[in-house]
Amino acid sequence: MWSPIDNAKSLFGRPNAGRASMNAGILDGLRVLATLWVISNHVIGYAWILPNSTDGINQMGTENQFYIFYSGGYGVDIFFLLSGFLIFNILYREFEKDIDIKDFLQSSFRFYGRRFFRIYPSYMVALGLWCLILTLTPNPLSMQQLSLCQQYWWTNVLAINNYYPVGDVASGCMGWTWTIAIELQMYFVSPPIVFLVFKQKRWGRTILLLLTLVSVGFYFGYTLSDLIYFPELDLYPINVYPRFYTRFYTYTLGMLVAFQFIQGGKQLNLTVRCIFRVLTTSIIIAIAFFENINYPGWQEKYIWMMSLNREVLCFCLAFVMYDLLLGPVEGKRFANMWIPVSCYLLSNRITYTLSQLTYNIYLYHLCVIYIFYALIFQIIEFTFTPSWMMITFVLCCFIISGILALVIYFLFEKLLINFGSKYLKRKTLPTPEMIELMEKSSVSSSEQEESLKPCDVIFGVNTTNGTFFGGSTTSVIYGDSSDGDVTIASNIVLAKDMYYRNLTINDGGMLRTNGFRVFVTKTLTLANISVITNAGTNGTSSSPGVAPPDNSVGGGGSLTVGRYIGGNGGSQGSITRPTVGNGYTNGEMFCFHTLPCMMTARDLSSAIVRGGVSGNSTNYGGGGGIIYIAARYWNVTGSPTITAKGGNASGLDAGGGGGYILIVTDQSSIIPTLDVSGGIGLSVGEAGGYMIVSDNGGVLLSSARIR
């Protein structure tokens, strides 16, 4: 928790996986872009501090390249949209299948506690730094702002500074933190909303859509009435812009995208997706770039645009998010170009690291702007007229704020986040009585051996009725605990099948299965950014990627050798995958749908079955392998990942196909993120699949690859 090395790993060492799906890393890039957009808006918006700045600001308003700067307030809507998506995912995983009111209250308490440690320490440091800066810069503006902080600092602490003092957001202390107040208010109402959706999954979309439309109605109604009936009072910054009920729709839109994706995001028709891509992108560009252009008839049309533009933009952004999360359409190279290009630009180690700092960058960027404007530029009597100078200052502000955010991250934020994660994590361990009862269960073999097919008796498992013979349930499915209790804190590569009693992978730890199976008799504990992987490696400019090897279970490989249940590599031909009742040559039945065949990862002829196919090009990505994990209980904290993804290609070559993940458990939920995405390249690798079954043979969760 206190290790600087581990904390640095969590910031700079991005796990080889998405956090919500194969393309969820793109959301990191969106968050970074939104932060830059907001900063650019504030750089212009606060330029009035400079002496003789009016001419410079007016000149910027006539230069086309600055239109996008004036629209930077929409970056806040992107923040809310992403927050709704991420918070819904976090809370949805908190709620088990049969959660009751007591569990709900406990889960909510833990959620509120973790959010407190995430938000308030950096927030209070920023408040103190802001007051110190104002104290050390004795000018009329500083004295005015310091007076506001002395009077209203408590509204920031209570997260009501978007309501009190009555007035626009500039009338309180740290006026830009009204967004944090709304975030905290959204966090407060999130647990009951997600709990309701979780309990009423059938009506989940309807519930979230109704909440969205109610908030849209508030925004549209208040904006329209203020502009029509009270235009001279300019009430929009007071009644509409900073209010929770007029901004809540962006948050619930993010929740709606998350719920749709968790429920198994439906692949839209490719033609429909392409049409909506063009339409939504055009609308986003039109609103972002051309909202502030003056043209004849502007005043008459401004009212309707002001009332509708933000809602329309958010719905378009929600579709873009959903489209990126769905990933590429198999076999459509040209139509898929949107996905790899977005991944290259938005999903990489740089954007991942910056996205971890965006909260602190937002908190401190106005401190940096104020220091430059109130001190440095007044001393040298500088005003902005060159366009390149404004862009340069935006980037400088972002970089300096990032450095300050990095210091705060290591000194305060990460330490307290770790503290909250450690003492407020979800308790998922069963009671000792439950463990004792389940370990005593066994079934006589004499009653079960008649009329069983060969595939049904590989490990003494009767998959016809889901019972076991020849030993206890625990020893057959979850191993004999011969390797004891193990904790992994670094990068470990397996050289044999492992039979753990308890296995813990700490924050930043990585277990490479290398084609071997993992058995855990008791509990598999996965910390925040821990990884279990059997992924294909990325191609480089001088060599292709490598698929994992065949060992106890299959790895990846070339299309012409072996049998595959994962994804095709990019540029490869179609492979025929088995389905229940259908087979390969010689009528050999493929039986991954039965528990014993899952345990061997082989077909009835004992031929090994592999995961994903490597790409077919020069510097292609390696295909992902198969991962087999039999862990009775899971204790998951944060966003750990199990990944059998295909490797990315170098340059414009072909990505590897995703592998396959097989999990056996006695627990109905709290499984980490599963990443079986295809590798990125000019030709995108096809996604693989996964299957999670209970130890009595019932399927708990499955991708569309094999049912």
- Assign 4 a pLDDT band (cuts: 50, 70, 90): low
- Assign 457 a pLDDT band (cuts: 50, 70, 90): very low
Q: Is the pLDDT of residue 589 over 50?
A: no
pLDDT at residue 87, rounded to an integer: 93
pLDDT at residue 702, rounded to an integer: 60
pLDDT at residue 233, rounded to an integer: 66
Counted residue by residue, the chain has a size of 707
Mean pLDDT of the chain: 75
Q: Is the pLDDT of residue 549 over 50?
A: yes
Q: Is the pLDDT of residue 89 over 70?
A: yes
Q: Distance between CA atoms of 621 and 656, rounded to whole angstroms?
A: 4
pLDDT at residue 447, rounded to an integer: 36
Residue of 700, 690, 691, 707 whose CA lies nearest to 22: 690
pLDDT at residue 575, rounded to an integer: 43
Q: Is the whole-model pTM more than 0.95?
A: no
DSSP 98-152: T--HHHHHHHHHHHHHHHHHHHHHHHHHHHHHHHHHHHHS-SHHHHHHHHHHHHH
pLDDT at residue 157, rounded to an integer: 94
Which residue has better confidence, 536 or 97? 536
Q: Which of 1-5, 19-23, 320-324 has the lowest mean pLDDT?
A: 19-23
- Assign 460 a pLDDT band (cuts: 50, 70, 90): very low
**Averaged pLDDT for residues 298-316:** 76
DSSP 52-93: T-HHHHHHHHTSGGGHHHHTTTHHHHHHHHHHHHHHHHHHHH
220's tokens: 């549209």
**Averaged pLDDT for residues 240-252:** 92
Q: Distance between CA atoms of 666 and 191, rounded to whole angstroms?
A: 26
pLDDT, tens digit, 9 for 90 and up, residues 633-654: 888 887 789 999 988 887 777 8
Residue 192, number of CB atoms within 10 A of its CB: 12
pLDDT at residue 341, rounded to an integer: 67
Which residue has better confidence, 174 or 571? 174
Q: Radius of gyration of the chain from Cα atoms?
A: 28
Which residue has better confidence, 600 or 335? 600
Which residue has better confidence, 301 or 129? 129
Q: Is the pLDDT of residue 546 over 60?
A: yes
pLDDT at residue 619, rounded to an integer: 78
Residue 139, number of CB atoms within 10 A of its CB: 13
Q: Which of 46-55, 268-277, 573-582, 679-688 has the lowest mean pLDDT?
A: 573-582
Which residue has better confidence, 578 or 572? 572
Q: 549 near 660, Cβ under 8 Å?
A: no
Side-chain half-sphere CA neighbours of 366 within 13 A? 22
Q: Is the pLDDT of residue 471 over 90?
A: no
